[in-house]
Structure 1
Amino acid sequence: MTSPYADIIDLLKLPPDGDEAAVAAVRARDLTLTKPPGSLGKLEGLVEFLARWQGKAAPTVADPMVAIFAGNHGVTDEGISAYPRAVTAQMVANFTNGGAAVSQICAMHELNLRVFELALELPTGNITREPALDDKMCAATIAYGMEAIAGNPDLLCVGEMGIGNTTVAAAIFAALYGGSGADWVGRGTGVDDAGLARKAAAVDAALALHRDALIDPLAILARLGGREIAAILGAIISTRHQHVPVIVDGFVATAAAAIAHAVNPAAIDHCIFAHVSAEQGHQRALAAMGKPALLQLDLCLGEGSGAALAAVLVKTALHLHNNMATFAEARVSGKID
């Protein structure tokens, strides 16, 4: 019997390479701009990142998208969140009505915001008692995420919304990298000490229950994850094959990237990680993948807010690259040989 993940694994294991000729063209132009070489630091690297993964010597950020994937989680029955599950749908409405932080960031900086609801009326299974998803549903949700960027943005920021999803992300990281629930859980939406203990216990219970089934990264995703994490994984897969660079938001979105990385570390080379979350496990997860973060702002909001802020930096970096004067245009003397 063919695995429902067969095509997904093929796409992860055979991603297209970046365009080094495009990077070389960006570097050549950079050397002509009125500044010392390398003086814009990581901003220069961001333009190279765009060129490499768009495959364009003149990269663009003309149609950036912030995509928020929203899902609900049965594990909230374990008292692991400070807010009720109904808040997921309420916040989805807040995103689309312009009331959320990410809505305002996107409006101010001309980033397209799209919100994808993933069966909010049907929470995943409570991972302390049953799998979150069966393999068929998990694969279908990954496929849904692959289709979500059909509008062909030139830069994708991935974020999420889902009460309880920091608990399932912690479970994914623990399954991938080892450790107990206490090593990975944080306060999420602001749980007290008792709530934090319940989160750690829920992760430990889920790891014990599913231990024999956690045989590969996609099995970990199905048993312990959530629809929004599966959909983000799909978006990450699809963007690589469509030559769209990706900015990954915080703790939960990073869990999706970690699944891809566990299948093939090169599968997320077209991703940058926006920021280090205030969630205690985020830095540990980034370190496990050998991935630096662009920003450190002590954010723990989720909803793509950190990725949107990182996109502002990317837009700024490209604007400088395209619009600064060259030495010749400005009649400024170049570096002495």
Structure 2
Amino acid sequence: TITGCAYEDILVHNEYGPTVEQRAAHIHSFVDRFNIGVDDWSALSESERRDAVLNLLHVAGGLDIAFLTAFILGAASHRMAVVFDNVVTGAAILAAVTIDPLVKDYVFPSAVYDEPIHDEPIHKEQCRFLGVKPYLHYNLLIDEALGSTMGLSIIDASMHMLNDMKTFIEAEVSVAEDGAGKGRQKDKE
């Protein structure tokens, strides 16, 4: 609803349960009834966007998405990185970014799933809308926050590298006397 993508384009057919068309009709049956479908969220004022998202969370979201949205807003307000790797967390990210567009600066999608069982088209649409690309690609069928955990590990390692890694001079690395580095390094004296 927030991205404006047609439900039929991002829902995946599976062998069990209702068809894509039936699921899309079901979503339309409650979203349209509450007049939540907004063609252009950017045309709304900040308070109208906030009201529309809160209404959407009330009608179509669960408590998990509502709590995650609040958590994401709080984390971003404290300038904390928010890593996500699945559709549920992505829905909360979309809600938070719609409420406060500055949240987007703190959002990092860690993983991409290649299996339709993980609602991969929905996750791709969330990332497309946010203008971000996941940086981990793996074929695991388990998504129990594994992507976010690995993503946090990469961010943590990057921060250690930026903040704690010594320079060549601090580490007393000698100038190359042979090999590819010979003649390309300046004398450290």
User: How far did 1:235 drift?
Assistant: 0.7
Equivalent position to 2:57, from 221, 225, 233: 221
- State the match for 2:96 in structure 1: 260
**Are residues 1:195 and 2:36 paired?**
no
Q: How many residues align?
A: 157
Matched letter for residue 319 of structure 1 = H
C-alpha change, 1:300 and 1:236, in structure 2 (3 Å) is farther
Gaps of 5+ in 2: 39-51, 115-119, 176-183
Whose relative contact order is higher, 1 or 2, with alpha carbons under 8 Å and at least 6 apart? 1
* CA RMSD between the two structures: 2.6
Equivalent position to 2:84, from 231, 248, 259: 248
5 Å-filtered alignment, 1:57-72, equals: none
Name which one, 1 or 2, has greater alpha-carbon Rg: 2
Q: Is the 8 A contact 2:70 2:96 kept in 1?
A: no
User: Which whole-Å deviations, capped at 9, do the CAs of 1:53-109 have from their partners, x for residues lacking one?
Assistant: xxxxxxxxxxxxxxxxxxxxxxxxxxxxxxxxxxxxxxxxxxxxxxxxxxxxxxxxx
User: Which whole-Å deviations, capped at 9, do the CAs of 1:156-182 have from their partners, x for residues lacking one?
Assistant: xxxxxxxxxxxxxxxxxxx12234433
C-alpha change, 1:185 and 1:309, in structure 2 (3 Å) is same
- State the match for 1:301 in structure 2: 142
- Residue 230 of structure 1: SS of its match in structure 2? helix
User: How far did 1:196 drift?
Assistant: 5.8
User: Which whole-Å deviations, capped at 9, do the CAs of 1:1-57 have from their partners, x for residues lacking one?
Assistant: xxxxxxxxxxxxxxxxxxxxxxxxxxxxxxxxxxxxxxxxxxxxxxxxxxxxxxxxx
Matched letter for residue 109 of structure 2 = F
User: How far did 1:249 drift?
Assistant: 2.3
User: How far did 1:281 drift?
Assistant: 1.8
User: How far did 1:272 drift?
Assistant: 0.9
Q: Is the 8 A contact 2:84 2:109 kept in 1?
A: yes
- Residue 147 of structure 2: SS of its match in structure 1? helix
What is the CA–CA distance in structure 2 between the aligned matches of 1:302 and 1:200, rounded to whole Å? Answer: 26
C-alpha change, 1:263 and 1:326, in structure 2 (3 Å) is same
- State the match for 1:270 in structure 2: 106
What is the CA–CA distance in structure 1 between the aligned matches of 2:90 and 2:110, rounded to whole Å? Answer: 10
- Residue 235 of structure 1: SS of its match in structure 2? helix
C-alpha change, 1:335 and 1:196, in structure 2 (3 Å) is farther
User: Which whole-Å deviations, capped at 9, do the CAs of 1:194-249 have from their partners, x for residues lacking one?
Assistant: 4361x652342222333142162222222111111111101101112233222122
- State the match for 1:182 in structure 2: 8
Q: TM-score, normalised by structure 1?
A: 0.42
C-alpha change, 1:280 and 1:325, in structure 2 (3 Å) is same
C-alpha change, 1:300 and 1:217, in structure 2 (3 Å) is farther
5 Å-filtered alignment, 1:304-315, equals: 304-315=145-156
C-alpha change, 1:196 and 1:182, in structure 2 (3 Å) is farther
5 Å-filtered alignment, 1:1-337, equals: 175-186=1-12, 192-195=14-17, 197=19, 200-213=21-34, 214=36, 216-278=52-114, 279-299=120-140, 301-329=142-170, 330-333=172-175
User: How far did 1:309 drift?
Assistant: 0.9
Gaps of 5+ in 1: 1-174
Q: TM-score, normalised by structure 2?
A: 0.70
Matched letter for residue 90 of structure 2 = T
What is the CA–CA distance in structure 2 between the aligned matches of 1:179 and 1:328, rounded to whole Å? Answer: 53
C-alpha change, 1:225 and 1:298, in structure 2 (3 Å) is farther
Matched letter for residue 211 of structure 1 = D
What is the CA–CA distance in structure 2 between the aligned matches of 1:289 and 1:300, rounded to whole Å? Answer: 24
What is the CA–CA distance in structure 1 between the aligned matches of 2:164 and 2:5, rounded to whole Å? Answer: 49
User: How far did 1:305 drift?
Assistant: 1.4
